[in-house]
Structure 1
Amino acid sequence: MTALVRSASLTGFTEVATSCGLDPYALATEVGLPRRGLDEPDLMIPTQSVGQLLELAAARGREPAFGLRMAESRRLSNLGPLALLVRDERTLRDALEVLVTHIHMHNEALSVRVEQVGNLVSIRVEMGVGPGAFRQSSELVIGVTFRVLSVFMGAGWQPRLVCFTHRAPADLRVHRRLFGRAVEFGHEFDGIVCNASDLDVPNPGADPVMVRYARRLLEQSSGKRPRDSARVRELVVVLMPRGHCRVEVVAQHMGMDRRTLARRLAAEGTTFSAVVDNVRRDLLGGYLKDGARPLAEVSDLLGFSAPSAFSRWHRNQFGIAARSRVNQP
C-alpha cells in the first residue's frame, strides 16, 4: 500500500525551486505529482514521490540544503487540523503526545517517538523508507519539528542537539542558521535532543476550548474516510479564526468547485452555512463558559468581520443579545 502525505508538505517548494533557477511545476510532473499539489495543501499524494521530488530539485538546483530552506518558512498551520490541537495544548509535552498519536493523518509514512533518559529527552523521527533514503525529506521533517518546538519555546530557543543519520554536507550555513551549532551527522537516529524541563513549560497561548473541539474532530475522522461534511467542519475550524472561512475557499481546499461541494453536502442533508453555524455554536459555548475573553475577541475567533455581525448572528441564533450571556453560569 502506497503511503500518502498531505500536499502541504510541499509548502515553500515553489519558492525555493524558483530561487535555484528551476521550474517547480515541470519537476512535479517529472516525478508524477499533480501540478496543483504545489498550490493546494490538502491533496493526498505519495510520500515516495515527494521524496524523489526533493532529491531531484536539490541535485538539479545544486542546493544541498533544499529541504531545510523549505522548513525555514513553515508555520504550524501547515499541519492542517492537527495544528489546532498542537497549538493549544497546555505544554510542549502534551503537544508532542498529540503528534505521536495523530501524525499519520498528516503523513502516513512518518512516526514520532519521544524517549526520556534522566534529564534529556530525544524526539526521534522515522520516515518509514530507511535511514538516509531521502536526505532532503529527513532534513525538512527535522526542520519542521524544530519550528513546532520553537512555537512553544520561543524564537531564541536552542535544542541540546539536532541529529541526522546522513553525512554532513560541505556547507553548513543553513543548518547553523536554523539550528545553531549543536548539529551532529552520522548519528544513530534523526531527531532532536532537548532538556526534559523544556517539555513542561506552560503554553501561554493555550486555548482549552479549541483543544476539546479539535480533539473531538480528530477522533471522529481517525482511521476512516470522513464524510464531506466532517471534512468541511475541520476546514471551517482551521480557516475561521484567520478570516478565510468562505465556501469557495473550503471547496478549493477539497479539490472541487463550490457547486460540487454544495451537492455533496446536500446529499448528506446539510449545507455549508449550516456547518459553519454549528461550528460557531459549539465553539461559542466553550468560549463563554471559560469566560475570560471579551466579546470582540470571541467575534474574531468565530470569523466575523465585525462585532456587529457577530451580534446579529447571535440574536438570530438564540433570540437574545450576546452581551446578556456574558458571565452567566
Structure 2
Amino acid sequence: MAFTLLATAGRIVHRLIQNRGLDADALYLECGLDPAKLDDAKARYPVDQMRTLWNLAQQRIPDPCWGLAAGKDWRPTDYHALGYAFLASSTLEEALMRLARYYRIVIQDTGLQITSNQDSLSVRSMHISTEAAIPTLQDAHMSLILEMCREVYGATLPLLEVQLSHPSQSCDYEHYFGCPVRYDDDSSGLTFALSTVRKKLPAGNRDLANESDRILADLDEFLTGPKLTHRVRQEICRRLPSGNPCAKDVARELALAPRTLQRKLREEGTTYKKVSEDVRKEVAQRYLKDGRHHLSEVTFLTGFSNQPAFSRAYKAWTGRNPSDDQGPT
C-alpha cells in the first residue's frame, strides 16, 4: 500500500524549511513534490517522497533542533477540519481522542495511541514506516501535538513526562517541554495528568466540533472506504465546477493508472462514464430542487460548458427539461 500525507499538512515543513533560509519550493521539486498542491485541501503527497524531503532538509539544515519549531508553524487549516475539531473540543482528553481517531486523514502510516490509568493519560506515536531514523521528524511530531494542546489549554499546560525514541541530542528538550524527558524509548509520546486533560476548556464549541466531525467522517470514508466507486464519486463532485473531469485526471488524483481505475470500477459493477453521469445528474437535480440557483449556475456547477448542452443531457437522463424540475426561488 502506498501511504499518503494530506498536502496541506506539508505546509508545516515547507514553512520550517523556508524559515531556515532554504528554497522550500526547490526542495519539494527536487523530491518530486508539486508545491502547488500545498493549498489544495483534497490533494495528498506520497509519504515516501515526504520522508525523502525531510531527510534532505535534515542534511542541509545544520541545527539538530530545528524540528522543535514545527508546532509554532502549525495552523488549524493545515489539518483540514481536524484542526478546527481539535480546537472546538470540550476537554483536552476529547481533543486528543479526536486527533487519534482521525489522524490517518493527516498521514496514513502513523497512528496515535491513547492510554490512561487512574492518574495520567499518554498519547503515543505509532509508526508503520521508519520515522525512528529521522530524529528531527520525531521532534516535530511531538512539538506539533504539544503546541496544539497548548493552543486550546493555554501556554501553562503542564506535562508529566515526554518520551522520545531517539537518543538525547544537543537540544534543550527539558526546557522546551517543561518536564522530564526519557530518551531511547520504544516510541515517542507525551504524558499528562488526568486532571489536566479532563479540565473544561473555555473555547469548547460542541456544534462546531460536531460539524467538523461530519466533514472528517466523509474524508475518512473517502480514504478508507471499501469501494473505489465512492472515492471516484467524491473526486468527480469536487472537480465538477472546473469542468467535467476525465478518468485520467481522477485516476491520477487517486494514485491509480487509468486502466487500473477502469478495471477496478468494472469489478464493482460500473464504469467511469456511468459514475460520472450519475454524479452530474444527482448534483443537477439537487441544485434545481433547491431553487436558489439559476440554470446558468447549475450548468457551471455540473461541469457543462453551456446551457443547451446541459439541457440536452438533463433531458436524456430524466426525460424532462431542467426548468420542469426547478424549485421555487
TM-score bucket (shorter structure): 0.5 to 0.7
Task: Report which stretch shifted further, 189-198 or 111-120.
Answer: 111-120
Name the CA distance, whole Å, in 2 between partners of 1:122 and 1:40: 33
Partner residue of 1:270 out of 279, 283, 287: 283
Letter of the 2:135 partner, please give it: R
Q: In structure 1, what is the equivalent of residue 261 of structure 2?
A: none
Letter of the 1:6 partner, please give it: L
Residues 93-122 of structure 1 show CA distances to partners (whole Å, capped at 9, x for unaligned) of: 222222222211111111111111331221
Q: Which runs of 5+ in 2 are unaligned?
A: 247-275, 292-326
Letter of the 2:283 partner, please give it: T
CA contact (8 A) 1:4 1:44 kept: yes
Q: CA deviation at 1:135?
A: 2.1
Q: In structure 1, what is the equivalent of residue 102 of structure 2?
A: 102
Q: In structure 2, what is the equivalent of residue 285 of structure 1?
A: none
Q: CA deviation at 1:4?
A: 0.5
Task: Describe how 1:3-14 pairs up with structure 2 within 5 A.
Answer: 3-14=3-14
Name the CA distance, whole Å, in 2 between partners of 1:213 and 1:170: 43
How much is the aligned-residue C-alpha RMSD, in angstroms? 3.5
Q: CA deviation at 1:91?
A: 1.6
Name the CA distance, whole Å, in 2 between partners of 1:199 and 1:318: 50
Q: CA deviation at 1:53?
A: 1.0
1:11 partner SS: helix
1:270 partner SS: helix
Q: In structure 1, what is the equivalent of residue 144 of structure 2?
A: 144
Answer with 1 or 2: which has the greater Rg: 2
Q: CA deviation at 1:158?
A: 2.8
CA contact (8 A) 2:15 2:73 kept: no
Q: CA deviation at 1:164?
A: 0.7
Equivalent pairs: percent with the same residue? 17
Name the CA distance, whole Å, in 2 between partners of 1:183 and 1:201: 24
Letter of the 2:72 partner, please give it: E
Q: In structure 2, what is the equivalent of residue 190 of structure 1?
A: 188
Normalised TM-score (structure 2): 0.66
- The answer to whether structure 1 residue 160 and structure 2 residue 160 are counterparts is yes
Q: In structure 1, what is the equivalent of residue 209 of structure 2?
A: 211
Q: In structure 2, what is the equivalent of residue 289 of structure 1?
A: none
Task: Report which stretch shifted further, 181-190 or 198-207.
Answer: 181-190
Q: CA deviation at 1:165?
A: 0.6
Name the CA shift for 1:119/1:268 in 2 (closer, same or farther; >3 Å): farther
2:82 partner SS: helix
- The answer to whether structure 1 residue 260 and structure 2 residue 243 are counterparts is yes
Name the CA distance, whole Å, in 2 between partners of 1:197 and 1:39: 38
CA contact (8 A) 1:28 1:35 kept: yes
Name the CA distance, whole Å, in 1 between partners of 2:82 and 2:150: 17
Residues 205-242 of structure 1 show CA distances to partners (whole Å, capped at 9, x for unaligned) of: 22222233333333344233766896899xxxxxxxxx
CA contact (8 A) 2:92 2:201 kept: yes
Q: Which runs of 5+ in 1 are unaligned?
A: 234-253, 279-316, 320-329
